[in-house]
Structure 1
């Protein structure tokens, strides 16, 4: 096993997974998210199973309703640069 500089796995979530995770993060049922986003519960269900892809306006509504970052919802990537790892003893950033 080659670990190298890796500190762990970075899962790549598909859009359908991110929508579901955002909804669950907010503690919402599909119907509740649908109401907040102004769509049908069937639309939310179809997005979460990957049957259809929401328009950007719906993604904006989902992000707003769930409190997740829109960039993450759209891309699966953090909008923030990674924080440098600090040495526990000196407190200096490690390269």
Structure 2
């Protein structure tokens, strides 16, 4: 399998179309198509972004080096990934939700469940806030707009989503604009009434806001590794 075939392989393994992968990387569907047909070669920064987005190594994409299997591989039966995203509830056919970007865990969910409660801090643009609720919480657009309007007009608490794992709750909280929403993650014990969750105390601290994909030393470390790998390929 050549490098271009491996790009197609990891894209399909993540359950993404060429257009969806292009959206994650900030390129067109045509660009992805040309990579996969070996008509063009993505630059080092783009390959680093691809590896980061799809959680694969540059060594595998460029050189075909398989990751080392864990020592206990094969001891437990394989875990079947859910077919809907735990965050936004949309259909997922691979390991990454093509809408909200959440990476599905490869082990069965354990531990308590959580809910996210929000109220208004400041809504500079109601349309943008509603779009966040549609993307990350899976709300229908009309419902999201009504929720934002209610929080804006009455400064009331609103249940955004419930029955979440800890990682899903933190993913949503990290990607909603904390300068506009006042968020609280509470424990969801299966209360019959949604209203019962609105007054519960926080069950965990809020995560740090999600960092831009381009930033961070880790990202540039991957870029450096990709450049080295490209230099190696140039000798073949």
TM-score range, shorter chain: 0.5 to 0.7
Query: For residues 63 and 26 of structure 1, what CA distance do their matches in structure 2 show?
Result: 12
Report the TM-score, using the length of structure 1 for normalisation.
Answer: 0.66
Tell me whether 1:19 sits opposite 2:11 in the alignment. Answer: no
Query: For residues 28 and 41 of structure 1, what CA distance do their matches in structure 2 show?
Result: 11
Contact conserved, 1:16 with 1:49, CA < 8 A, in 2?
yes
Superposed CA offset, 1:30-79 (max 9, x none): 01100111111111000001101111111111112222222111211125
Residue matched to 2:60: 72
Where does 1:14-93 land on structure 2 (aligned, <5 Å)?
A: 14-80=2-68
**1:80 Cα deviation after fit:** 3.6
Query: For residues 23 and 38 of structure 2, what CA distance do their matches in structure 1 show?
Result: 20
Root-mean-square deviation over aligned CA pairs: 1.7
- Provide the secondary structure at the position in 2 that maps to 1:28: coil
Larger Rg: 2
Query: For residues 29 and 43 of structure 1, what CA distance do their matches in structure 2 show?
Result: 13
Contact conserved, 1:22 with 1:66, CA < 8 A, in 2?
yes
Instruction: Choose between structure 1 and 2: higher strand proportion.
Output: 2
Query: For residues 54 and 62 of structure 1, what CA distance do their matches in structure 2 show?
Result: 10
Aligned length: 70
Contact conserved, 1:25 with 1:66, CA < 8 A, in 2?
no
Report the TM-score, using the length of structure 2 for normalisation.
Answer: 0.28
Gapped regions of structure 1 (runs ≥ 5): 1-12, 84-95
